[in-house]
Structure 1
């Protein structure tokens, strides 16, 4: 009887270690939180808060009634290096594009002052809008000789960049029908291609260039008055800051081609073995 009593007393004296361990864990967590709050970072604070809540919820109770803390696997904190690098890259890209736009402004300054050239900055990049009256004769797609030098200077600025360039041709709604240009579609497309060929000859890589003819489908002014039609007859040069993404081909079931190729290859194996 006395021996059993002594064993119980020994077990009772050992239980203070559990409370002490819990206290040490809470104290450690308290100082971790205080340290984290000393240098506030919203992203790290959220991750730390979620980790602490998850850790203190994962508490199991064993058969003897003692609390056993089950620590979850460590949650990796988000590294700000990658996001900072991306932001720095975007900022550097935007600055490079603005520098190119400023250089083009200097080259086209007289035409900008006359309202014949407009340079706009959008979310996609920088757009150079050139009135076609200074580029081409009416109904023609050959560059005016006095504008060739200016366009070559623009090309020299763009050669030093690595942005994709899209050249768009636009017309008004007055129909054209000639042997060379059956409609405004052909006229706008050939005018865009003419500028593209000049850029390519100036040294801009062909894979960076795209030519599009929109005819009269994207007016910037109503075609009711002569001034509006003159504004709509234009060539725009888009210096695109976004690199086109590679698409994923879909089959008739709406699945990607990569997903649908796996079972097809498995069925092809027995067919080849029967031959």
Structure 2
């Protein structure tokens, strides 16, 4: 009995693999059914989509139709416009206020407005008396609201590498002094050089050369009767170029002397703090009780 029972149990185990095999075949059949269903393409819809894309990216007009192989016409589908239609940008017209409008807007004092008009008049006089040199691009007149700058090329005033005024410079500076002598403005004379180094006993660097040239012009203005307390000589060397120092033309432009007429309210040794505030109509802060405001000397 025991032997027959053992043989019966062993025979049951041999058929168990059929269950797993049947499950595998069922899943495999389902897989192929799904693959077949998704691979089925509606030929009509496919052609419609293809023709639509072709019409959208072609150069044909929007009112034209295209036909498929069966002769069915399909209207070209235009791309969808996203957002607003681009508009042509119009240039913005900037205001160009007159001098009177600027004066009214800033509400400056009458004294500084009169001084500004005098500076503008002086700039026009410079252009008139120095017209031949302006045409040759040896002189340039620059106007600002509160100063004017007379830019003179060093070739007009000095020999190369020298700080002594050349004979032809004297008549030019005399014409300039006749205009500025009648004005009370401070005068800054600024010397500039190119970036080529200079190493002489008299001028170890461009600092000394630019300062010496500015001083020569200042001394000539003194001889022409301009008060010394209005004058200052400044040397900038090669460190404020107006053109490219790598080319000859640029270096030529950078070798220059600038004569700057400053407004009384902006000159360092012009008006003191209280006078400057009055000219510009700026409210002065209240001083601490018992402490008098420090008064800057007009001329140091």
TM-score, normalised relative to structure 2: 0.53
How well do the aligned residues superpose, as a CA RMSD in angstroms?
2.3
Q: Residue 156 of structure 1 aligns with which residue?
A: 178
Instruction: Return the alpha-carbon distance in structure 2 between the equivalents of residues 243 and 186 of structure 1.
Output: 24
Q: Determine if contact 1:107/1:150 at 8 Å carries over to the other structure.
A: no
Deviation digits for residues 86-137 of structure 1 (CA, Å, limit 9, x no counterpart): 4432321111111111222222111011110000012441000001012111
Instruction: Return the alpha-carbon distance in structure 2 between the equivalents of residues 198 and 231 of structure 1.
Output: 23
Q: Determine if contact 2:152/2:258 at 8 Å carries over to the other structure.
A: yes
* Structure 2 gap segments, 5+ residues each: 1-105, 274-286, 292-300
1:103 to 115, 118, 125: 125
Q: Residue 200 of structure 2 aligns with which residue?
A: 178
2:252 alignment partner, SS class: helix
Deviation at residue 246 of structure 1 after TM alignment: 4.3
Instruction: Return the alpha-carbon distance in structure 1 between the equivalents of residues 196 and 142 of structure 2.
Output: 26
Instruction: Return the alpha-carbon distance in structure 1 between the equivalents of residues 151 and 238 of structure 2.
Output: 15
Instruction: Tell me how many residue pairs correspond in the alignment.
Output: 169
TM-score, normalised relative to structure 1: 0.57
Instruction: Return the alpha-carbon distance in structure 2 between the equivalents of residues 189 and 199 of structure 1.
Output: 16
Q: Residue 133 of structure 1 aligns with which residue?
A: 155
Instruction: Return the alpha-carbon distance in structure 2 between the equivalents of residues 231 and 123 of structure 1.
Output: 24
* Structure 1 gap segments, 5+ residues each: 1-82, 248-257, 263-275
Q: Residue 28 of structure 1 aligns with which residue?
A: none
Segments of 4+ moved more than 6 angstroms? none
1:213 to 228, 232, 235: 235
Deviation at residue 154 of structure 1 after TM alignment: 0.5
